[in-house]
Amino acid sequence: MGAWFLLVCIVLRGLATSRAPWGNMYEFINLTCFCGLVAALIVLRRRDLRPLWVFVLVPVLILLAVSGKWLYTDAAPVMPALQSYWLPIHVSVVSLGSGVFLVAGVASILFLVKTSRLGDPGREGLSAGVVSRLPHAQVLDRIAYRTTIFAFPVFGFGVIFGAIWAEETWGRFWGWDPKETVSFVAWVAYAAYLHARSTAGWRDRRAAWINVAGFVAMVFNLFFINLVIAGLHSYAGVG
């Protein structure tokens, strides 16, 4: 129901603006959260995985609350710099990759919790009780790995589309703009995770920590880079 409700909100926003509804941070976060919910619907469709839904909903609800409270902008046409056919292509692909990365990040965090002392058999307490209800650590690891395998090339194509758009708009494919730089760092972190996950001796907690680092870089890129650091992507922020 939540995914359908968010889809309706996105469609209504598009009708109100008479354009693709992802021209600013508010709209981008809505689309990313929708993609994350759809990914979770597919990945967590088995009955034994349904307890994981609450852990996916928490970051989604936080993102939507922050977006609605502090990042909301009235429906309006996008600024001239964004009026390109590359906008819906670039942003939709990046949103899809980011939404699936959200599910992967949650799975890796839960894997780290499950394999920590909180997951020790016989441990008592509320937190231990919650952890005991999580799926097996191998299941969480497999979810993180498979979702990252999907999101990694999708996000990479999104970055490539953005580079092509940048060449058409600014005359260069890559300028090490702060957002470009952190996006590249996050992409490298996910590449390192996939490599580590397939390397003996790195498949467990160390690989999961790398995946979490990539997720943290994505969140940092979304908020701090857009709202604090000046750059060519600053126009995608509030207002």
The dihedrals phi and psi of 201, each to the nearest 5 degrees, come to: 90, -10
* Residue 219, phi-psi category: left (phi > 0), alpha (psi -120 to 50), beta (remainder): alpha
Read off the pTM.
0.91
The amino acid occupying position 206 is R
- Residues spanned by the domain of 70: 2-236
Q: Is 163 exposed, middle or buried (0-12, 13-18, 19+ CB in 10 A)?
A: middle
* Dist CA 155 CA 98 (whole Å): 7
Q: How many helices (H) and strands (E) does the chain have?
A: 9, 0
Length of the chain: 239
Average pLDDT of the segment spanning 81-90: 87
Q: Is the pLDDT of residue 239 over 60?
A: no
Average pLDDT of the segment spanning 163-181: 86
Provide the pLDDT for residue 235.
Answer: 47
> What would you measure as the largest C-alpha separation in the chain, in angstroms?
62
Mind listing the pLDDT tens digit for each residue in 16-68? 988 989 888 899 999 999 999 999 999 999 999 988 999 999 999 999 999 99
* Dist CA 200 CA 230 (whole Å): 42
Domain count for the chain, please give it: 1
